[in-house]
Amino acid sequence: MFIRQISTLKNSSIANFIKVLLRGISQVILIENAISGFLILLAIMIYSYSLGLMALLSSFIGTVVGKLGGADTKDIDQGLFGYNSVLTGIALSLFLEGSFRWFIALSGAFITAIFTAIVMHITKKIRVPALTFPFIIVTWLILLSSYKLKALKLSPSLVPQDLVHWKLYISGHINWMEGVFSGIGQVFFLDHILSGVLLFLAVFWSSWKFGVLAIIGNALALMTAYILGAEHSLIIKGLYGYNAILTMLAVAIVFSSPQKKYSFLSGVIATILTVPITASISIWLIPYGLPALTMPFVLSSWVFIGSRNILPNL
């Protein structure tokens, strides 16, 4: 009987730990739900099995760092030490090449978990969420170091360009359906329609409100980018959509205003704002060959969430 109880306790602990890992993945889309995390992991693995494994290992690293570091159990169980590590691991494994790529990506996931603790400590004092800021900074720094460190090799997809010769190409037919599913897919750097469908399913599984707001956020980004004359190829690839989706969820529902009736409106404004922010950050980073990542989401969300400390109706 005693041995059976010990075995049940171990199985329960393992199951709970797996749930935490999956929440670490789902928190990338501001969701605390293990089943949603599983659906997201499945979406990543459909696109690339190795990328799915990287996401799981990165979530494991972030969670273990939180546990061994003595972080608040509630923060760990919610997956708050996993999601930034997940994004860093995925991004570095995609944007770097060479035999050290996986080691660097997993090391980046480890560094990000520690940096997450620092950022969480600072942002709590000013009453704004850390969001994906740790992932952005660590990823940018590691990618930039490749210009000085031979062991780090940038992917050919990240090519520095001279702004003097920069031209805006607006041509071609827009496949709106592809843009819809690519938008949410790009949150995890996925360009695959089936993966996008599963990601939307993961969001709706968590809450129908999350799902509806994700669709609205993506639609607003597509329309705004098109009206403002963004490059059609980038609209189709979802590069204007993913930050908008995250911003809508963050501002309108996850970190909503005390005056709930104003949350949706401020979410809409913040979502639209991500489009020009994405364009400006992208052009700023072109000479370095860096991707904008989720910085537009962070900046737009911080503006509205932070300002609510003084302007609660926003």
Q: What is the pLDDT of residues 162-177, one digit of tens each?
A: 777 677 777 666 777 7
Same domain, 197 and 147: no
pLDDT in tens, 230-276: 888 888 888 899 999 999 999 999 998 766 667 889 999 999 999 99
Closest CA to 26 of 190, 191, 199: 199
Cβ pair 48, 104 in contact under 8 A: no
Write down which residue in 133, 157, 181 finishes a domain. Answer: 157
Same domain, 137 and 25: yes
Same domain, 132 and 36: yes
d(CA 109, CA 38): 20
d(CA 154, CA 104): 12
Same domain, 93 and 164: no
pLDDT at residue 256, as a whole number: 83
Cβ pair 289, 154 in contact under 8 A: yes
d(CA 67, CA 136): 23
d(CA 24, CA 86): 8
Q: What percent of the chain has pLDDT over 90?
A: 65
Write down which residue in 137, 157, 177 finishes a domain. Answer: 157
Helix 101-125 × helix 83-95 angle, to 10°? 140
Same domain, 150 and 253: no
Closest CA to 47 of 199, 159, 155, 176: 199
Number of structural domains in the chain: 2
| DSSP per-residue codes, 29-61 | GT---HHHHHHHHHHHHHH-HHHHHHHHHHHHH
pLDDT at 119 over 80: yes
- State mean pLDDT over 77-90: 95
Same domain, 6 and 69: yes
- State mean pLDDT over 80-96: 96
Cβ pair 303, 273 in contact under 8 A: yes
pTM, to two decimals: 0.91
Query: Residue 215's domain is classified under what CATH number?
Result: 1.10.3430.10
Same domain, 190 and 286: yes
Sign of CA dihedral 97, 298, 133, 22: negative
Same domain, 75 and 115: yes
Chain-centroid distance of CA 279 in Å reads 18
Write down which residue in 122, 139, 157 finishes a domain. Answer: 157
Banded model confidence at residue 12, pLDDT cuts 50, 70, 90: low
- State mean pLDDT over 190-196: 88
pLDDT at residue 4, as a whole number: 52
pLDDT at residue 9, as a whole number: 39
Which range among 10-19, 86-95, 128-137, 163-172 shows the weakest confidence by mean pLDDT? 163-172
Same domain, 58 and 190: no
Same domain, 150 and 188: no
Same domain, 144 and 182: no
**Burial label, 117 (beta-carbon count in 10 A; 0-12, 13-18, 19+):** middle
Same domain, 206 and 282: yes
- State mean pLDDT over 52-74: 94
Q: What one-letter code names the amino acid at 7?
A: S
Tokens of 102: 């996986």
pLDDT at 308 over 70: yes
Residue 248 structural domain: 159-314
- State mean pLDDT over 201-213: 95
d(CA 64, CA 74): 14
